[in-house]
A and B are shown apart, each in its own frame.
Chain A
Amino acid sequence: MYSYLLPEFTVKRLEDRCIRCRVCERQCANQVHEYDGELDRLFTTEEACVGCQRCVVLCPTNALHVQPRTADYRPNCSWTRDKLQNLKKQAETGGVVLTGSGNDRPYRIYWDHLVLNASQVTNPSIDPLREPMELKTFLGKKPDTLQVTYDNDGLPRLESGLHPNVPISTPLVFSAMSLGAISYPAYKSLATAAREFGTLFNTGEGGLPAHMREEFGVSAIVQCASGRFGVDPEYLNSARIIEIKIGQGAKPGIGGHLPGEKVSADIARTRMIPQGTDALSPAPQHDIYSIEDLSMLIYALKETTNYEKPVSVKIAAVHNVAAIASGIVRAGADIVAIDGIRGGTGAAPLATRDNVGIPMELALAAVDKRLRDEGIRHKCSILAAGGIRCSTDAIKAIALGADAVYIGTAALVAMGCTLCHKCYTGKCNWGICTQNPYLTKRLNPEIATRKLVNLLKSWSHEIQELLGGMGINAIESLRGNRDHLRGVGLEAWELDVLGVKGAGE
Chain B
Amino acid sequence: MLVQKYFPSERMVPEKDMDACGLFGVMNISGRRFGGEMAINAIKNMKVRGSGLGGGFAIYGLYPEYKDYYALHIMFQNQNLRAKHEVEAFLKEHFYVVYDEEIPTNPEINVFFPPIVWRYFVAPQKKSEDQTVTDDEYVVNKVMYLNTCVEDAYVFSSGKDVGVFKGVGFPEEIADYFMLDKLYQGYIWTVHSRFPTNTPGWWGGAHPFNILDWTVVHNGEISSYGTNRRYLEMFNYYCTLHTDTEVLAYAVDLLLRRQKLPIELVARIFAPPMWETIERMDKDQRELYTALRMTYAPLLMNGPFTVIIAHHNEMVGLTDRIRLRPITAGAKGDLVFLSSEEASIRAVCPDLELAWTPPGGEPVVVRLHSRDHLLSLNKSI
- Give A contacts to B, CB under 8 Å: 119, 121-124, 126, 131-132, 134, 136, 138, 142-143, 145-146, 148, 155-158, 160, 162, 165, 369, 372, 375-378, 470-474, 476-484, 495-502, 505
Contact residues in B for A369 (Cβ distance below 8 Å): 10
Q: In this complex, what residue of A is CB-closest to B284?
A: A157
Contact residues in A for B321 (Cβ distance below 8 Å): 473
Q: Are B235 and A156 neighbours in the complex by a CB distance under 8 Å?
A: no
B259-299 Cβ-contact flags toward A at 8 Å (1 or 0): 10110110000001011100000001101100111111110
28 contacts between A and B (CB under 8 A): A119-B223, A121-B197, A122-B197, A122-B221, A131-B322, A132-B276, A134-B274, A145-B261, A146-B296, A155-B285, A158-B287, A369-B10, A372-B230, A372-B233, A372-B234, A375-B235, A473-B302, A473-B322, A476-B227, A477-B224, A477-B303, A478-B227, A479-B227, A480-B231, A481-B226, A495-B11, A497-B9, A498-B11
Q: Is the interface of A mostly helix, strand, loop or mixed?
A: loop
Q: In the complex, how many angstroms separate the beta carbon of A182 from the nearest chain B beta carbon?
A: 33
Q: Is there a chain A Cβ closer than 8 Å to B33's Cβ?
A: no
Known: A372-B234, A472-B224, A496-B11. A124 touches B324 (CB 8 A): yes
Contact residues in A for B121 (Cβ distance below 8 Å): none
Contact residues in A for B346 (Cβ distance below 8 Å): none
Q: CA of A146 to CA of B20 in the docked complex: distance in angstroms?
A: 33
Q: Are A472 and B302 neighbours in the complex by a CB distance under 8 Å?
A: yes
Q: Is there a chain A Cβ closer than 8 Å to B31's Cβ?
A: no
Q: In this complex, what residue of A is CB-closest to B9?
A: A496
Q: Are A500 and B11 neighbours in the complex by a CB distance under 8 Å?
A: yes
Q: Is there a chain A Cβ closer than 8 Å to B126's Cβ?
A: no
Q: In the complex, how many angstroms separate the beta carbon of A162 from the nearest chain B beta carbon?
A: 6
Known: A470-B223, A474-B300, A495-B11. A480 touches B230 (CB 8 A): yes
Contact residues in B for A482 (Cβ distance below 8 Å): 10-11, 226
Q: Is there a chain A Cβ closer than 8 Å to B304's Cβ?
A: yes
Q: CA of A505 to CA of B288 in the docked complex: distance in angstroms?
A: 41
7 more A-B residue pairs beyond the given contacts A148-B288, A160-B291, with a C-beta to C-beta distance below 8 A: A122-B20, A138-B294, A146-B295, A156-B265, A162-B294, A471-B223, A478-B224
Contact of B275 among A136, A375, A479 (CB under 8 A): A136
Q: CA of A470 to CA of B321 in the docked complex: distance in angstroms?
A: 16
Q: In this complex, what residue of B is CB-closest to A483?
A: B226
Contact of A477 among B10, B227, B275, B291 (CB under 8 A): B227
Q: Are B288 and A156 neighbours in the complex by a CB distance under 8 Å?
A: yes
Q: CA of A476 to CA of B233 in the docked complex: distance in angstroms?
A: 17
Q: CA of A158 to CA of B230 in the docked complex: distance in angstroms?
A: 26
Contact residues in B for A122 (Cβ distance below 8 Å): 18, 20, 197, 221
Contact residues in B for A372 (Cβ distance below 8 Å): 230, 233-234
Q: In this complex, what residue of B is CB-closest to A131?
A: B322
- Give B contacts to A, CB under 8 Å: 8-11, 15-16, 18, 20, 197, 220-221, 223-227, 230-231, 233-235, 259, 261-262, 264-265, 272, 274-276, 284-285, 287-288, 291-298, 300, 302-304, 321-322, 324
Known: A134-B274, A146-B261, A148-B261. A123 touches B304 (CB 8 A): yes
Q: Are A142 and B265 neighbours in the complex by a CB distance under 8 Å?
A: no
Q: In this complex, what residue of B is CB-closest to A476?
A: B297
Contact residues in A for B288 (Cβ distance below 8 Å): 148, 156-158
Choose among B10, B20, B298 the residue with the greatest number of A CB atoms under 10 Å from its CB.
B10
Q: CA of A480 to CA of B300 in the docked complex: distance in angstroms?
A: 13
Q: Are B231 and A378 neighbours in the complex by a CB distance under 8 Å?
A: yes
Contact of B265 among A148, A162, A480, A496 (CB under 8 A): A148
Q: Are B224 and A165 neighbours in the complex by a CB distance under 8 Å?
A: no
Q: CA of A496 to CA of B9 in the docked complex: distance in angstroms?
A: 5
Choose among A160, A474, A482 the residue with the greatest number of B CB atoms under 10 Å from its CB.
A474
Contact residues in B for A160 (Cβ distance below 8 Å): 291
Contact residues in A for B235 (Cβ distance below 8 Å): 375
Known: A477-B302, A479-B297. A499 touches B274 (CB 8 A): no
Contact residues in A for B225 (Cβ distance below 8 Å): 481, 483
Q: In the complex, how many angstroms separate the beta carbon of A397 from the nearest chain B beta carbon?
A: 14
Contact residues in A for B261 (Cβ distance below 8 Å): 145-146, 148
Q: In this complex, what residue of B is CB-closest to A124?
A: B324
Known: A123-B220, A378-B231, A471-B302. A484 touches B264 (CB 8 A): no
Q: CA of A470 to CA of B291 in the docked complex: distance in angstroms?
A: 26
Q: In the complex, how many angstroms separate the beta carbon of A370 from the nearest chain B beta carbon?
A: 12
Q: CA of A501 to CA of B11 in the docked complex: distance in angstroms?
A: 5
Contact of B221 among A123, A143, A146 (CB under 8 A): A123
Q: In the complex, how many angstroms separate the beta carbon of A436 from the nearest chain B beta carbon?
A: 45
Q: In this complex, what residue of A is CB-closest to B229?
A: A483
Contact of A505 among B11, B297, B303 (CB under 8 A): B11
Contact residues in A for B272 (Cβ distance below 8 Å): 474
Q: Are B303 and A123 neighbours in the complex by a CB distance under 8 Å?
A: yes
Contact residues in B for A132 (Cβ distance below 8 Å): 274, 276, 322
Contact residues in B for A501 (Cβ distance below 8 Å): 11, 15
Q: CA of A146 to CA of B224 in the docked complex: distance in angstroms?
A: 22
Contact residues in B for A496 (Cβ distance below 8 Å): 8-9, 11
Q: In this complex, what residue of A is CB-closest to B8?
A: A496
Q: CA of A157 to CA of B324 in the docked complex: distance in angstroms?
A: 30
Q: CA of A202 to CA of B291 in the docked complex: distance in angstroms?
A: 26
Q: In this complex, what residue of A is CB-closest to B223?
A: A471
Known: A132-B276, A472-B303. A123 touches B223 (CB 8 A): yes
Contact residues in B for A495 (Cβ distance below 8 Å): 9, 11
Q: In this complex, what residue of B is CB-closest to A150?
A: B262
Contact residues in B for A126 (Cβ distance below 8 Å): 322
Q: CA of A271 to CA of B18 in the docked complex: distance in angstroms?
A: 58
Q: CA of A472 to CA of B300 in the docked complex: distance in angstroms?
A: 10
Q: In this complex, what residue of A is CB-closest to B258?
A: A145
Q: CA of A121 to CA of B294 in the docked complex: distance in angstroms?
A: 31
Contact residues in B for A500 (Cβ distance below 8 Å): 10-11
